[in-house]
């Protein structure tokens, strides 16, 4: 009875209808805070926020400095016989006026490729109508929600894993105590058998058998201690702490007659997996709207302020200002836009079907976890009764063995029975809380 009381006090955990365990809550919060994997997802979330800020920047004007300088030789040219046209007139005028006021001109041969020519300008552009920018911003906002949902999913998975690891650690430490208690009984039995042998009441076989049983239980105790160390190491791994960090045991005391709820209830409406698929479906719908908006023209306004000329001369008419509006409207692109719309429609339909399938899977998971909890609870209640029966049987065998009414083998059988019953009870109790954690996880808690 004392063993059962200790066992139940160790396993008083947070639960539906169970006592609150601030210790386990602290471990869960510590694991979430220290998780490197969660930190990586936080970085991805921050990246999504930066991407959203970038998308918002497309709504604002853009200002760029553009410049070019060209050197050219050869190529096409235009010939203008200005000398042939004007030199005769200029000579007549000079003769009439008696002055050399009008010079003789050479014919012009101007290349199309400008040589030693520069053009530097500042262009300011602003999108007046552009549906791609608007829908791109909506997609980035939805991707931020998607990344946040991934973080929420991981937090709940990590919380469930930490709880289960803690339950398994407590079960392993309880198994260690059970073997320690069994070893204490066997050592006391060896002492009694040794006295009986020395007094000629028992044969040496009894002493030898007692020593063999002690050796066997010592090996089982060593194995249980190693299992407890491994369970603690795994829990510390989830908490991102040194693997040999001591693990505190829950000191909450539970009544031995505590009435566990016969069943648990829950709903899958709060599952982040469904919310994630809903966000993904929204992204696909936004992509569909963006593809459908190809018929809406893109209108942009721009203004250029710059300078151009030869030999890097500034002034003398090199400064200029230029403004305008550009429009882009696809007329024919081989039906590519229509096909993109159809593909986007299929993506929307596929994610909708996937969400229905996942909803059914999550509902099945919840129902199965509730049923498993009920089965685990029944097994625990049965094992508790078996421990009580084994205790009574062992106490009776111990009394009768001391009185010489039963053989030592019967005494050992009673001792093995109570040890096995206590071990099974600790496993069943741990399994109850593991199944409870599964129900909480399946309910999105």
Give the number of other CB atoms < 10 A from CB of residue 332: 7
- Please tell me the distance from the alpha carbon of residue 9 to that of residue 271, in angstroms, as a whole number: 32
Q: Tell me: pLDDT of 395 over 80.
A: yes
Residue 272 has pLDDT above 60, yes or no: yes
CA distance 362 to 274: 9
Residue 255's pLDDT is: 35
- Tokens 């008696």 locate to 98
Contact of 244 with 230, CB cutoff 8 Å? no
Q: Are residues 9 and 244 in contact, defined by beta-carbon separation less than 8 angstroms?
A: no
- Per-residue model confidence as pLDDT tens digits over 198-240: 777 767 877 888 888 889 889 989 999 999 999 999 999 999 9
Assess whether pLDDT exceeds 50 at residue 19: no
Cα separation, 439 vs 160, whole angstroms: 10
3-state secondary structure of 129: strand
Domain 2-66+126-298+330-442 - what CATH class? mainly alpha
Decide if 125 contacts 301 (C-beta within 8 A): yes
Q: What average pLDDT is seen over the chain?
A: 85
Give pLDDT tens digits for 341-377. Answer: 999 999 999 999 999 999 999 999 999 999 999 999 9
Strand order, beta sheet including 62-70: 62-70, 117-129, 298-310, 319-328
N residues, the chain:
445
Q: What is the mean pLDDT of residues 381-387?
A: 87
Least Cα distance to 118 among 66, 168, 74, 161 occurs for: 66
- Nearest CA to 248 out of 76, 22, 37, 91 is that of 22
Question: 240-251: per-residue pLDDT in tens?
Answer: 999 999 998 875
Please name the residue ranges forming H helices in 293-319.
none
The DSSP string of 32-63 is HHH-HHHHHHHHHHHHHHHHHHHHHHTTS-EE
Contact 439, 264 (CB under 8 A): yes
Higher pLDDT, 236 or 262: 236
Strand partners, 320: 306
Question: What digits encode the pLDDT tens for the residues 421-435?
Answer: 888 888 888 888 889
% of the chain residues with pLDDT over 90: 42
In this prediction, residue 142 carries a pLDDT of: 94
CA–CA separation, 145 and 140 (whole Å):
9
The Cα–Cα gap between 181 and 391 comes to 13
Q: What is the dihedral of CA 429, 433, 434, 436, to 10 degrees?
A: 140
- Measured in whole angstroms, the distance separating CA 41 from the mean position of its chain's CA atoms is 6
Q: Do residues 380 and 431 make contact, with C-beta atoms less than 8 angstroms apart?
A: yes
Phi and psi at 262, nearest 5°, equal -65, -25
pLDDT of residue 225: 92
Give the helix ranges, DSSP H, for 65-130: 82-97
pLDDT score of 252: 57
Domains in the chain: boundaries: 2-66+126-298+330-442, 73-113
Composition of the chain by helix, strand, coil, percent to 5: 65, 10, 25
* Dihedral sign computed on CA atoms, order 308, 309, 312, 315: negative
Residue 324's DSSP bridge partners are: 302
């Amino acid at each position: 009875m004392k063993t059962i009381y200790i066992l139940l006090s160790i396993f008083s955990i947070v639960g539906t209808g169970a006592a609150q365990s601030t210790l386990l809550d602290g471990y869960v919060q510590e694991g979430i805070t220290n998780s490197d994997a969660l930190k990586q997802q936080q970085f991805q979330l921050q990246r999504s926020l930066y991407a959203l800020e970038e998308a918002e920047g497309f709504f604002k004007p853009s200002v760029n400095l553009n410049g070019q300088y060209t050197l050219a030789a050869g190529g096409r040219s235009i010939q203008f016989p200005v000398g042939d046209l004007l030199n005769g007139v200029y000579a007549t005028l000079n003769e009439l006026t008696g002055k050399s006021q009008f010079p003789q001109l050479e014919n012009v041969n101007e290349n199309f490729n400008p040589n030693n020519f520069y053009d530097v300008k500042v262009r300011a552009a602003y999108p007046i109508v552009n549906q791609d920018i608007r829908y791109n911003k909506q997609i980035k906002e939805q991707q931020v929600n998607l990344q946040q949902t991934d973080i929420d999913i991981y937090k709940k998975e990590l919380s469930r894993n930490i709880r289960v690891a803690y339950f398994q650690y407590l079960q392993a430490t309880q198994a260690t105590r059970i073997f320690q208690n069994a070893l204490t009984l066997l050592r006391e039995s060896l002492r009694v058998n040794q006295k009986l042998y020395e007094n000629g009441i028992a044969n040496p076989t009894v002493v030898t058998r007692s020593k063999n049983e002690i050796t066997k239980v010592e090996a089982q105790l060593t194995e249980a201690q190693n299992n407890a160390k491994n369970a603690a190491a795994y829990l510390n791994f989830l908490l991102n702490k040194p693997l040999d960090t001591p693990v505190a045991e829950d000191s909450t005391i539970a009544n031995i007659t505590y009435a566990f709820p016969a069943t648990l209830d829950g709903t899958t409406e709060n599952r982040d997996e469904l919310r994630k698929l809903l966000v993904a479906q929204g992204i696909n719908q936004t992509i569909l709207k963006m593809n459908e908006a190809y018929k809406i023209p893109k209108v942009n306004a721009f203004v250029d302020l710059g300078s151009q000329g030869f030999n890097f001369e500034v002034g003398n008419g090199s400064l200029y200002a230029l403004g305008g509006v550009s429009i882009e409207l696809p007329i024919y692109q081989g039906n590519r836009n229509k096909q993109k719309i159809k593909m986007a429609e299929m993506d929307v339909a596929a994610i909708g079907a996937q969400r229905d399938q996942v909803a059914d899977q999550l509902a099945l998971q919840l129902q199965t976890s509730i049923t498993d909890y009920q089965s685990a609870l029944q097994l625990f209640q049965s094992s508790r009764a078996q421990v009580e029966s084994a205790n009574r049987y062992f106490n009776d065998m111990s009394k009768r063995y001391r009185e010489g009414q039963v053989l030592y083998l019967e005494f050992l059988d009673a001792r093995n029975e109570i040890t096995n019953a206590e071990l099974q009870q600790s496993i069943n109790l741990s399994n109850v809380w593991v199944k409870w954690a599964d129900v909480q996880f399946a309910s999105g808690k």
